[in-house]
Amino acid sequence: MMKQREVTDQHNTTWTCVQAYAAVESAATEEAIARSETDSGAVPVVCTPSGGAQTVRLELEKNWLDGLSDEELTTAISAAR
């Protein structure tokens, strides 16, 4: 199952964020995820706003799903736009 998270920013835009490669279910998935991690242990995350405006690509901590507050996530999205 693809893990995703929704947050709403200060402009009342709802963003749906998923880790890149999360949708791929295969033996190569683990390897792709491991290779996609940067040296600092960050992972690629793609956030799509409601209304289908510009998608934002982020590099976040591995534990972004549970470890980042909504505020930290929306701040990262704003910074990347």
pLDDT tens digits, residue range 15-59? 999 988 645 555 555 565 555 555 567 888 999 999 877 899 999
Q: Give me the domain span that covers residue 71.
A: 4-80
**pLDDT computed for residue 18 by the predictor:** 92
Contact between 67 and 45 under an 8 Å Cβ cutoff? The reply is no
Contact between 77 and 56 under an 8 Å Cβ cutoff? The reply is yes
Mean per-residue pLDDT for 74-80?
A: 94
DSSP element (H, E) containing 17: strand 14-19
Contacts by residues 32-36 (CB-CB < 8 Å, ≥ 24 positions apart) = none
- Mean pLDDT (the chain) is 81
pLDDT tens digits, residue range 48-76? 999 877 899 999 988 899 999 999 999 99
- Report the domain count for the chain: 1
> 57 by DSSP, 3-state: which?
strand
**pLDDT computed for residue 53 by the predictor:** 73
Rg, Å, the chain Cα set = 13
**pLDDT computed for residue 33 by the predictor:** 57
